[in-house]
Structure 1
Amino acid sequence: MGKTYDVRIWAVRQRKDRGQSSAELRWRVGNTPHSQTFSTKTLADGRRAELLTAVNNGEPFDEATGLPLRELRERNDVSWYRHARDYIEMKWPTSPAKTRTTLADAMATATPALVSTRRGMPDTMELRHALYGWAFNCNRWTEEPPAAVARTLAWVERNTLPVSALDDPLVIRKVLTAFTLRLDGAKAAPSTFKRKRAIFHNALGFAVEARRLPHNPLTQVQWAVPPAVDEVDPGCVVNPRQARALLEAVAEQGARGQHLKAFFGCLYHAGMRPAEAVWLRRENCDLPLSGWGTLHLDGSRPRVGRGWTDSGAPHDTRGLKWRPEKEIRHVPIPPEFTAMLREHLDTYGTASDGRLFRTLRGGIVQESGYGEVWARARKQALTPQQYASPLAARPYDLRHACVSLWLNSGVDPVEVARRAGHSVAVLLKVYAKCLDGATAMANARIDEALSRWS
């Protein structure tokens, strides 16, 4: 069943039920009959006139309910705040914890732009805290919010526009403008805008599905989406000599640094994401006494926060990124790194669950901890000019360096994509960058080729 223009309305007929007279209005929408009983014929005739007016105006009807779609939408109309919570509730069960945070972020950005008045409006940070931390976090809905949060959400609930108001392109434009700004008023990154716009588009699609909007109004707005910079900055990619120096500098940062040397080695030699490295267990490692080894990666543990996971743990339980839940990624690792992992296991053993890397208390390695070690190692290993540049500014840049090394070594892009856990299209768009100093190497090869023809 769906919408149709095939509508037939019969004349009102009088009925006597249990000694009382009533008036019955009958009509058919598509192949589905409908009827409604009124206490008087006058009321029935008035309703019949409303339906006839809708037919004469060329309005579509909903076959399931028998109502004109315009009227059905008016009956289903709710505030944007109510709809946004319905949307979050719909997406929550099937969304990973990290995705939940991005959904809440987008809704918390859109909602302040969809209010009917700014009189009495809480300040930006109060709104952000209440919307992101409470209104759009299903895990908090069973808790009693603080008084300040409750007041803020009560104001939002009273003053947000109805969903039907979003059929106005000028209202949609206000939301898109909000997506271009950060909380401090600075310009948001193009990738942030695109992510929030995509979520907003999906939320409007849910409004169409719930028959709260006739169509998705986002397509009516002429808005040039800024191009996102998806490519890796070549300036952040270290060469093998620099990578070795950084790993040695990590090991010189005390006991924690010595423990984390192999952790950073996972990022550089195996192209692992940090969330994959923190979950590397002994059972994932095939480490022969000599030659190449293999890592069999089967999951990750990204840190999201206790408030967003189903378990209440700060790390979410995830499979490999962008892969089916139980898929395993087999990554060959060079002898140099195979020996490094063997040495790490001989020295530190494993946690009770088999993890290679852990905190002093046996917990999962935290970004704050390995970030401090990396910052000190980077300052020690790089020249002042390199330290002031983006070169290896983040541990994640070691993964970029690894994939760039594979590509620049002539490895088939299909094989590189498989090892890195990417599609070939994403690989060539994002990672096909030069190593630090590779430009001079390329120029030397061109000089050599030209000299052969001189």
Structure 2
Amino acid sequence: MTEWSYTVRIWSIRKRPYRKPYQLRWQVGTRPHSESFLTLGLAESRRAQFITATREGEPWDVDSGLPKSMVQKAKDISWYQHARNYVEMKWDHSPASTRRNLAEAMATVTLALVKDTKGMGDKRAVRRSLYTWAFNVNRWKEEPPEEVAAHLAWVERKSVPTSQLSDRMLVRRALDACARRLDGKTSSGSVIARKRAIFHQALGIAVDAELLGENPMAALKWKAPERVEEEVDPEAVPDPAQAAALLAAVGRQGDRGRHLAAFFGCLYYAGARPGELVGIRLQDFDLPRRGWGLVRLRESRARSGSSWTDTGEAHDRRGLKHRTRKTVRHVPIPPELVAMLRWHVTLYGTHADGRLFRTARGGMVQESGYGEVWANARQEALSPSEQESKLAKRPYDLRHAAVSTWLSSGVEPQLVAQRAGHSVAVLFRVYAKFLKGGDEAANAKISARLNQHRAGAPARV
């Protein structure tokens, strides 16, 4: 650990009969130090630097005998190199989706932290090279294509020193980049928050590495531009009748549609995320002949791409979102979904590993496949005006429909949050408009309770 001292003595330069005749001597704490120079001018310049550092009250490193500013300068590396070090440090402990987020954030920030843009290639291509090669540790052993190598060499030359991030205006430039997409439009609130958090942590690691004296973001007054709302838009959420029509239309999309009907049913009736269903097995369900059943959601297999996972598989296997690896979410499922799943098992059985849903070749179901089925079902089930609207644009809107249905049915928000795998705070923020829609029902319940009290009160004489 670095030992610092404010006790410094600097002696006059002395001349000796050696190859470098001019010697500067000084003492930090009780430790003596010396440095020899070829010319008197060089020796006087270094002595002046030392005197300036003492006058400005800098702490001195006892071991190296240098003031803190010089220690940091000696350790200084480019932001590009620090960003790579940061990603490498986080890599082994991060799931594939987090690795992609780290690479995306560092690509955005690094491209903003260059001295100038002279000689830069196409901006999108340079950023893609940073994202797919510079910040993807899995590809560091591969030889990049010539164009990619040229892009990364340019960034390495132009990247600012990490120590310059003490300049708050430079940090502001990077944050502004986090708030914009490549087309110049404002990014969504979740993307801005995610990139800002990653950048903040990378700056914190720079402080730990003594590349910066303090995290400049802590004192920076920066406000993200007006962000895209994170609330679910009610216009995108199908009502129960529309959801039923869409699920029926899915079943009419050939064999692939019939196979995926129960998959979409789990999105709507169980409020599951697509990634939570990709690897789900028959033993994760209780499917009684009558009444309600139960699903136990144990893991998520989000598709991140084979270049980001340790296994080389496209789907990364991990715990439920924002939960520990062993967390299991129990969600009661209505008789409608129980019937769909029992029919699915009777017709298609399960894969050798117990998975319910799979492609014709037994692989994991993918967004491109079920997305195409959903688009065709949407065309069949919705009117032309509804097709042009936001209504049920994505399969994920079925999950939103599930949560909104639970809320509008009067289920307590705490229980809804538990079944949906949200915190209550997130539920209130994301589904705020649906919670507001329950005001009339809540008011009616309160009035009924008050009237009951009045009815039972004795009459006054």
Q: TM-score w.r.t. structure 1 length?
A: 0.87
Superposition RMSD in Å: 3.3
How far apart are the structure 1 equivalents of 2:5 and 2:105?
37
Q: What does residue 93 of structure 1 align with? A: 92
Does the residue aligned with 1:226 lie in a helix, a strand or coil?
coil
| Greater displacement, 169-178 / 340-349 | 169-178
Which amino acid in structure 1 is aligned with residue 245 of structure 2? A
Does the residue aligned with 2:92 lie in a helix, a strand or coil?
helix
Q: What does residue 241 of structure 1 align with? A: 241
Q: What does residue 146 of structure 2 align with? A: 147
Does the residue aligned with 2:398 lie in a helix, a strand or coil?
helix
| Greater displacement, 112-121 / 2-11 | 2-11
Does the residue aligned with 1:78 lie in a helix, a strand or coil?
coil
CA distance 1:354–1:76, shift in 2 (3 Å): same
Which amino acid in structure 2 is aligned with residue 311 of structure 1? T
| Offset of residue 409 of structure 1 | 1.2
How far apart are the structure 1 equivalents of 2:162 and 2:442?
59
| Greater displacement, 357-366 / 126-135 | 126-135
- Residues 3 and 60 in structure 1, CA contact (< 8 A), matched pair in contact too: no
How far apart are the structure 2 equivalents of 1:132 and 1:65?
38
How far apart are the structure 2 equivalents of 1:201 and 1:350?
46
- Residues 77 and 212 in structure 1, CA contact (< 8 A), matched pair in contact too: yes
| Offset of residue 273 of structure 1 | 0.3
| Offset of residue 380 of structure 1 | 1.1
Which amino acid in structure 2 is aligned with residue 319 of structure 1? G
How far apart are the structure 1 equivalents of 2:59 and 2:35?
24
Which amino acid in structure 2 is aligned with residue 285 of structure 1? F
| Offset of residue 54 of structure 1 | 2.8
- Residues 276 and 300 in structure 1, CA contact (< 8 A), matched pair in contact too: yes
CA distance 1:142–1:302, shift in 2 (3 Å): same
Does the residue aligned with 1:313 lie in a helix, a strand or coil?
coil
| Offset of residue 239 of structure 1 | 1.5
How far apart are the structure 1 equivalents of 2:317 and 2:358?
16
- Residues 189 and 230 in structure 2, CA contact (< 8 A), matched pair in contact too: no
Overall identity of the aligned pairs, in %: 54
The number of residue pairs the alignment matches comes to 440
How far apart are the structure 1 equivalents of 2:419 and 2:443?
30
- Residues 172 and 218 in structure 1, CA contact (< 8 A), matched pair in contact too: yes
- Structure 1 unpaired stretches of 5+: 13-22
Does the residue aligned with 1:296 lie in a helix, a strand or coil?
strand
How far apart are the structure 2 equivalents of 1:249 and 1:34?
82
How far apart are the structure 2 equivalents of 1:190 and 1:304?
21
Q: What does residue 367 of structure 1 align with? A: 367
- Residues 82 and 162 in structure 2, CA contact (< 8 A), matched pair in contact too: yes
- Residues 407 and 432 in structure 1, CA contact (< 8 A), matched pair in contact too: no
How far apart are the structure 1 equivalents of 2:3 and 2:419?
49
1:319-358 matches, within 5 Å, as 319-358=319-358
Which amino acid in structure 1 is aligned with residue 127 of structure 2? R
How far apart are the structure 2 equivalents of 1:283 and 1:321?
21
1:173-212 matches, within 5 Å, as 173-212=172-211
Does the residue aligned with 1:115 lie in a helix, a strand or coil?
coil
CA distance 1:323–1:96, shift in 2 (3 Å): same
| Offset of residue 284 of structure 1 | 0.8
- Residues 286 and 293 in structure 1, CA contact (< 8 A), matched pair in contact too: yes
How far apart are the structure 2 equivalents of 1:178 and 1:45?
44
| Offset of residue 139 of structure 1 | 0.6
1:35-434 matches, within 5 Å, as 35-36=32-33, 53-62=52-61, 67-228=66-227, 229-434=229-434
How far apart are the structure 2 equivalents of 1:272 and 1:63?
59
- Please give the per-residue CA displacement for 1:324-348, whole angstroms capped at 9, x wherever unaligned: 0111111111112112111111111
How far apart are the structure 2 equivalents of 1:45 and 1:187?
53
How far apart are the structure 2 equivalents of 1:345 and 1:248?
18
Q: What does residue 19 of structure 2 align with? A: none
CA distance 1:440–1:236, shift in 2 (3 Å): farther
| Offset of residue 297 of structure 1 | 1.1
- Structure 2 unpaired stretches of 5+: 13-22, 452-461
Q: TM-score w.r.t. structure 2 length?
A: 0.86
CA distance 1:3–1:233, shift in 2 (3 Å): farther
CA distance 1:67–1:289, shift in 2 (3 Å): farther
